[in-house]
């Protein structure tokens, strides 16, 4: 049980916290609360799931023989980013301090859930830029596994971005609905806020993901250069054969995929945000 506690304990904590968070909302009597509440519980529970998932991927890299290196510094740096939303919300001028603090706490919990995944990405980059160990077959296998971990982590963190963006849109609408029902001035929150929030989350993920993805792709391309050099081929048939073999290996290792393609696949919220951004900011 001890070996699996890091998986189910964060899930339970996320579920309980999400239930408490929605139960203590000031807008429980509003119709839109029934839409917002499941989103928040799903978000906090997903944060717990992804926390354990990130730890699993860390252990997977360890099983592959990756050196732990500066483990404490990596995890601490990733977890420290969770304090940023809370600090920012406390220093910005707001009219509803309680709502701002609650939003910051919810966002902090979300970022904590993704902190192990961020540490894994940092570690993948360290492994990818390190010296090759073993033969070329072992290096190709390592690159395959690193690419697989990259894709899984990106999809997991992308889920947090998508859920938090939708929950943000719901809470803005909920606040406007509550103010309207109470006869208070309705906050005129522009639609651009949701686009900017989702874009900022996607940008943060991209900044963490990009160094690891680029390092793995660069190492894969170097391996392809070593195994299938075009410089030694002279005959057209030989050039085509080498180029085809090289293209196959690049596709196999994911070296032919660009960073933007990876982000569009892993961040399911990115394409709708781009479309919404054009719709919001460009004149009709």
Average pLDDT for residues 120-135, to the nearest whole number? 80
Give the pLDDT score at 278: 42
Q: Are 172 and 196 in contact (CB under 8 A)?
A: no
Question: What CA–CA distances, in Å, run from 219 to 106, 131, 146, 152, 250?
Answer: 38, 10, 11, 19, 11
Q: In this predicted model, which residue has the larger pLDDT, 96 or 35? A: 35
Q: What is the pLDDT of residue 50?
A: 92
Report the percent of the chain where pLDDT is more than 70: 74
pLDDT at 187: 65
What's the whole-model pTM score? 0.79
Q: pLDDT tens for residues 54-78?
A: 888 888 887 765 555 555 555 565 5
Quote the CA–CA distance of 149 and 134 in Å, as a whole number: 20
Per-residue b or e along 244-280, where b marks 16 or more CB atoms closer than 10 Å to that residue's CB: eebeebbeebbbbbeeeebbeebbebbeebeebeeee
CB 119 within 8 A of CB 75: yes
Confidence band for 14, pLDDT divided at 50, 70 and 90: very high
Distance (Å, rounded) from C-alpha 89 to C-alpha 111? 15
The larger pLDDT score, comparing residue 203 to residue 91, is at 203
Q: How far is CA 35 from the centre of its chain?
A: 24
Answer whether residue 117 shows pLDDT above 80. yes
């Amino acid at each position: 049980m001890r070996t699996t506690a890091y998986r189910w304990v964060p899930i339970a904590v996320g579920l309980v916290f999400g239930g408490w968070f929605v139960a203590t909302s000031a807008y429980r009597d509003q119709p839109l609360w029934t839409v917002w509440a499941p989103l928040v519980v799903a978000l906090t529970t997903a944060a717990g799931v992804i926390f354990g998932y990130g730890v699993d991927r860390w252990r997977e890299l360890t099983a592959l023989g990756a050196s732990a290196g500066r483990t404490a510094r990596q995890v601490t740096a990733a977890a420290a980013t969770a304090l940023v939303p809370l600090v920012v919300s406390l220093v910005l001028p707001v009219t509803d301090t309680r709502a701002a603090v609650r939003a910051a706490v919810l966002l902090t919990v979300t970022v904590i859930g993704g902190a192990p995944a961020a540490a894994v990405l940092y570690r993948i980059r360290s492994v990818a830029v390190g010296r090759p160990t073993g033969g070329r077959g072992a290096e190709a296998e390592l690159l395959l596994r690193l690419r697989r971990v990259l894709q899984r982590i990106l999809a997991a963190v992308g889920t947090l971005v998508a859920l938090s963006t939708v929950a943000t849109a719901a809470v803005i609408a909920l606040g406007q609905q509550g103010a309207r029902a109470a006869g208070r001035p309705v906050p005129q929150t522009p639609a651009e806020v949701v686009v900017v929030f989702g874009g900022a989350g996607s940008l943060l993920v991209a900044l963490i993901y990009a160094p690891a993805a680029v390092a793995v792709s660069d190492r894969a391309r170097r391996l392809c250069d070593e195994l299938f050099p075009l410089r030694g081929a002279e005959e057209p048939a030989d050039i085509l054969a080498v180029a085809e073999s090289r293209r196959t290996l690049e596709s196999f290792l994911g070296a032919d995929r660009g960073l933007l393609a990876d982000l569009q696949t892993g961040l399911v919220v990115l394409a709708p945000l781009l479309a919404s951004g054009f719709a919001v900011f460009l004149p009709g």
